[in-house]
Amino acid sequence: MRARLLLLGIGAAALGGGGYWWWSAPHGSRHGQAALAQTEAILALGPRPPGSNALQAVRERLRSQLQAAGWVSVGQPFERSTTLGMMKFENLRARFADGDADAWQRPVKGLLCAHMDSKLFKHEVFLGADDAASACGAMLEIARVLAQDSPQLAKQMELVFFDGEEALEENITAFDGLYGSRHYASAWPEAAAKPAFGVLLDMVGHKDLAIRLPSDTPDSLRDAVLAAAKKEGAGKHFDVAQGAIIDDHTPLVRAGIPMVDIIGDFSNRHWWHTPADSRSLLSADSLEISIRVTLDVLDGQLKRQ
């Protein structure tokens, strides 16, 4: 992937109109610890490039964990011509059931996305711990919190885990990489009622957390993320990149869905796309920050739409 935290008192929360609904527990990193455990379970399955048994196992684990939290999921299989020939891919989509006969018939206001795959290396063991197993772990914890604490907001969301974000060759090009997000974006026809916004998570668990939002992020979403980070006391971890970033949000933006990519800074990082992107890079505290900021953004965006 490339050219790629105030604990508010109960009274204060009430005065704030019911916001910060996830702050019912004591201050700490319990969400981060839960997300880290989910991430570790993904990493234990090994490298997960497209088409691998490990990626299928990851997909099944995600489906199982989502189901346990009350979400229903469906696969979105497709084939694409790639630099390695025809390949099969499969995104995983999820919506909160909450007793609905068919959660897939209702419109959604927001998307929360990440990619499942790890980059293909023929001669190295690449786990992609931060890129992007950490985002999948964070999404599972966010899904659990939404379902448990704010089911009415959960019903307004669709979760998407993309396959094939990583280029099969070195870098993402017009023909290589973003396979899953390109296919998913194509499923939103012009006449369809599109989601009002989307959030993409990528590399959100590094122990030296440094989120850099793409410079072309819509103002409202950029400001929402930076304001949430400031409220959480984590402003130093969030900034805006010097330029645009090509990632899974790009095809969705082209499809007319405003997106923000909450992505860790991978520039001049020796670990990026190397075997050093392993469990040792990750921090429950960083995941906690990323999860709380994301929950804040989702809360604000869903209530304003």
Q: Does residue 115 form part of some domain?
A: yes
pLDDT the model gives residue 305: 60
pLDDT the model gives residue 161: 98
Q: Does residue 4 form part of some domain?
A: no
What are the Cα distances from residue 105, in Å, to 102, 144, 158, 303? 6, 22, 12, 21
Q: Does residue 2 form part of some domain?
A: no
Q: Does residue 79 form part of some domain?
A: yes
Give the tens place of pLDDT for each residue, 140-197: 999 999 999 999 999 999 999 999 999 999 999 999 999 999 999 998 877 678 999 9
From CA 252, how far away is CA 163, in angstroms rounded?
15
The ranges of the chain with pLDDT < 50 are 1-26
The residue type at 168:
L
From CA 60, how far away is CA 53, in angstroms rounded?
11
Q: Does residue 85 form part of some domain?
A: yes
pLDDT the model gives residue 10: 28
Q: Does residue 3 form part of some domain?
A: no
The answer to whether the CB of 273 falls within 8 A of the CB of 204 is no
Q: Does residue 1 form part of some domain?
A: no
CATH code at 267? 3.40.630.10
Q: Report the domain count for the chain.
A: 1
Half-sphere exposure at residue 304, Cβ-oriented, CA atoms within 13 angstroms: 12
Q: Does residue 187 form part of some domain?
A: yes
pLDDT the model gives residue 94: 98
pLDDT the model gives residue 193: 87
The residue assigned the tokens 């870098």 is 171
Range of the domain at 300: 10-304
